[in-house]
Structures are given as structure tokens and as C-alpha cells.
A and B are shown apart, each in its own frame.
Chain A
Amino acid sequence: MPSLFSALGQIAGATVDAVFSEGFALQPMAPPAAASGQRPNVNLRMAASTARPQIPFDGTYVEPGELMNAHGRTKADSTTHWIAGAKAMVDVAVTALPQRPMERDRIIRLDTGAVFEVAKVLPGDYGRLRIFLVDALQRPEDPR
């Protein structure tokens, strides 16, 4: 039996979803099929997974902007220039997804059609998952 806090958390999560959530689709991805007797190559471009189906789900999209730096192994982060970016994230109830998304799965924001790649999945409190995203769309050609 779930704890009282757990049950309350789920109810609160459902309320938040009812107000803030929107439709998404999770497209699981996998390395391209390999010839028989060979391992799938994890470094090649991913293709839609045949083992895991596409799943629609509802979640809350959050996109706080931030100034960031690229990381190096031997030098300080401030060695290279600042990047202005947004840490896009979808906050979902664990129960909204029959399976946990994996890194490099695709997530489509149905409202805008924007396509994202899953960067990492972190559990939140009371049955929530935070799926951090990276933008998978190609930028338009815009020479300046």
C-alpha cells in the first residue's frame, strides 16, 4: 500500500498535469539493425526502434534559459566562450510512460512539432520523472 504522502503526491501530480501538461510522443530509438552475428553499432545514427513502440503521453514542458560552458577534461570550463541555451525538460508522472525513456530516444512536442532527443532521465519526488532534452531539429541556413 502506498504511503499517504505518496498517494497525495500522485494526486497533486495529476492536478499539476491537468493544468500545465500538454501532449508529447515518445519515439524509442535503437542502433540500426546489424547483420546476423554482428553487434549493433552504438556509434551509428539511431533508427526508430522495432522492439519498443511509439507512445503518446502527457507531460509538463519547462525550458529555463541559462548561460553555459562546454566542459573539457583538462582545462577550466571558462576556457571557451559562453553559450546561451535553454535546458528543455518534460516533467511527467512515472505512470504516464510504460517504460523509462532511454538516452537518444526522440520526443516530439505535439503542439509545436518540435523534435527533441532524450539527454538524461532523472527521477523526481513522488512518482515524477524529469526527462532532459536536447534540440534535435536542424537549424535553418542563415549565413550572417
Chain B
Amino acid sequence: MSLIRAACRLQAIEALNSDPVIDGMVRGRVYDSRISAFDHRDPVPTILVTTEETKGEAWSHQNGGAPFGLVCDLVLEIAMNSVATMQINGMADPVEAIGYAATDAELEADLDLLEERAVEILTRGETAAAQLLRSAVVKRVPHVASSRFATDQTGEKFAVHLVTLRIELFTPEDENPFAVPSGPYALLPEPLRTIAAASDPDGLPRSICDRLIARLAPLPAPSEPAPFSGADMILAPQVLDADDAPDRAADIAAGRTIAIAANTPQ
């Protein structure tokens, strides 16, 4: 159930990085669930991707349990500060510092641009990564909310757009038990299996999926179940005598049985 959230995060980051505008401005600084604080001297802009509140109703209200129709919040924190030029300590490449916003108006417009591109690529993007996100992970995005946060208490003018996309996730139906998944990611549930197979061998989704597969190793590999082919029965006529209990072994030994085989044609 919750691994679909991992799939959502991993593929959303791939999709965001695949947008040429975001790639040009953010330069790969799209963080997955980053915990530690940002340093105000870190290069910006950055995008922090997290998946938050997840809720779901069971598909079967009578039986309950999985599968659930899941809805989760995909949260993007798009952060940027405004400095005309900046030299990052220890960073040889000064190009990293060029192109920053110099005024509050420029900063806000840049954040609006990033937000525009992020929502566009995640919900309507046509890159391969965005198409995979929409075809395998995201059923639809029924709601979006954006909040603005700003401060100059860090010694620099710094603003964040907090974008919350409510995502209806694809809940894969129970798979056909005879279509046994194969390959190195067979133990992963869909859609993570599809994403792992489609991802760049050096990329984040592959790295995370390899780690999950190692954790899943104690589980037996998926195998095709033996199909039900029928039942064999024997009938043994008995004397209606309360004191004469049926004796299965004696009936078989004496040949007082009628065999019935109810097998499906193979």
C-alpha cells in the first residue's frame, strides 16, 4: 500500500528533473524527503519533495482491508532567496551563483515560474518521466493548494512556495495469479516494479528499488500456483446399524467402494 507513495515521490522527482526550465534553474537540487535544515548559504533554488497525509477507503466495504483507494498529499517546498551574486564557499564553479533573483519582484516571479512548471510537468507533462508518472502512479490530481512563506530573518531575503497536490493514486487491482511477475524486481508491488525497470541504472529510483529488493529477499520468489483440477472421492455403502461404525480402511481393503473422479479436463 504505502510503497505506492515511494513510487509517487521517486517518479515525481524524475519528472521534475526532466523539465528543461526546472532543470536549468534548480540544477538537480530536488530533494527527496530531506530532514536536515537548509543552510542559507546553500545554492538555491531548491525543491523539497515529500509525501504527507495519506488516506484511503477499502474497495470492499464488506470485507475491508487492502486494496484501498488511496489519496495522498504530494508536497513541494520551492525555496529561493534573492541575492544578485553569490560565491559558494568551496565550490569551484561560480556559474552556480549566476542567475539569482536580485529584487523581491524577481524572486516572486521566479518562484511563480518554478511552481507553474512543476505543476504543469506533474499533471500534464509530456516528457517520458512525466508520462510514466501519470500512466503508472497518479490517477488524477483533483486539488492543488499553494501557500507563500517569506523571511529576511536568515540574513537574506528568502521565500518559499509550499505547493500541495492532492494525488489520487493508482491502486493496482489484484494481479492475475497466473501472470507471475519475473525479473529482478518481481517482488516489488506495482507500480514500483514498473518504475524500477524503467529508471536510469544510476538514478535514484533504481538505487532505492535495489535496496527494497534486498530487504524483500526473505520472501519466496513469486511462483505460479497449481491450478485446481478436481477432486477424487470414494463412496462406501454402509449398513444402517448404530453399533457398526464405518471403517474406511476396512471398506477399502474389502473393495466395498465406488471411486469417483471429478477432474476438470486438462
> How many B residues have CB within 8 A of the partner chain?
27
Q: Give the shortest distance, in Å, between A76 (CB) and chain B (any CB).
A: 14
Q: Is the interface of B mostly helix, strand, loop or mixed?
A: loop
Closest B residue to A35 by beta carbon equals B202
A42 with B37: CB separation less than 8 A:
no
A119 with B29: CB separation less than 8 A:
no
Question: In the complex, what distance in Å separates the CA atom of A60 from the CA atom of B230?
Answer: 77
Q: A42-B31, A43-B31, A120-B36 are in contact. Are A99 and B202 (CB under 8 A)?
A: no
Chain B residues 112-167 with CB under 8 Å of chain A are none
Question: In the complex, what distance in Å separates the CA atom of A62 from the CA atom of B84?
Answer: 37
Per-position binary interface string of chain A over residues 26-67, scored 1 when its CB falls under 8 Å from any chain B CB and 0 otherwise: 001000001100111111110000011000000000000000
Inter-chain residue pair count (beta carbon < 8 A): 55
Q: Which residues of A contact B29 (CB under 8 A)?
A: 42
Q: Which residues of A contact B91 (CB under 8 A)?
A: 51
Question: In the complex, what distance in Å separates the CA atom of A121 from the CA atom of B37?
Answer: 10
Q: Which residues of B contact A100 (CB under 8 A)?
A: 41, 89-90
Judge if A73 is at the interface, Cβ distance under 8 Å.
Answer: yes
Q: Which residues of A contact B75 (CB under 8 A)?
A: 73
A121 with B39: CB separation less than 8 A:
yes
A99 with B89: CB separation less than 8 A:
yes
B39 with A40: CB separation less than 8 A:
no
Selected from A42, A45, A52, A121, the residue in CB contact (under 8 A) with B28 is A42
Q: Which residues of A contact B17 (CB under 8 A)?
A: 39
Closest B residue to A99 by beta carbon equals B90
Question: In the complex, what distance in Å separates the CA atom of A57 from the CA atom of B36?
Answer: 24
Q: Give the shortest distance, in Å, between A105 (CB) and chain B (any CB).
A: 10
Chain B residues 191-230 with CB under 8 Å of chain A are 202-204, 207
Q: Give the shortest distance, in Å, between B24 (CB) and chain A (any CB).
A: 11
Question: In the complex, what distance in Å separates the CA atom of A72 from the CA atom of B27?
Answer: 28
Q: Which residues of B contact A44 (CB under 8 A)?
A: 204, 207
B90 with A102: CB separation less than 8 A:
yes
Q: Which residues of A contact B90 (CB under 8 A)?
A: 28, 51-52, 99-100, 102
Q: A73-B52, A74-B52, A119-B36 are in contact. Are A41 and B204 (CB under 8 A)?
A: yes
A–B Cβ pairs within 8 angstroms, 8 of them: A39-B28, A41-B28, A41-B202, A44-B204, A103-B36, A103-B39, A104-B36, A120-B39
A interface residues with partner B (beta carbon < 8 Å): 28, 34-35, 38-45, 51-52, 73-74, 99-100, 102-104, 119-121, 134
**Chain A to chain B: the 10 pairs with minimum beta-carbon distance, closest first:** A39-B28, A99-B90, A43-B32, A43-B204, A100-B89, A120-B37, A99-B89, A52-B90, A119-B36, A103-B36
Q: With contacts A41-B204, A102-B42, A119-B37 known, what are 19 further pairs, Cβ within 8 A?
A: A28-B90, A34-B202, A35-B202, A41-B202, A41-B203, A43-B30, A43-B31, A51-B92, A73-B50, A99-B89, A99-B90, A100-B41, A100-B89, A102-B39, A102-B90, A103-B36, A120-B37, A120-B39, A121-B39
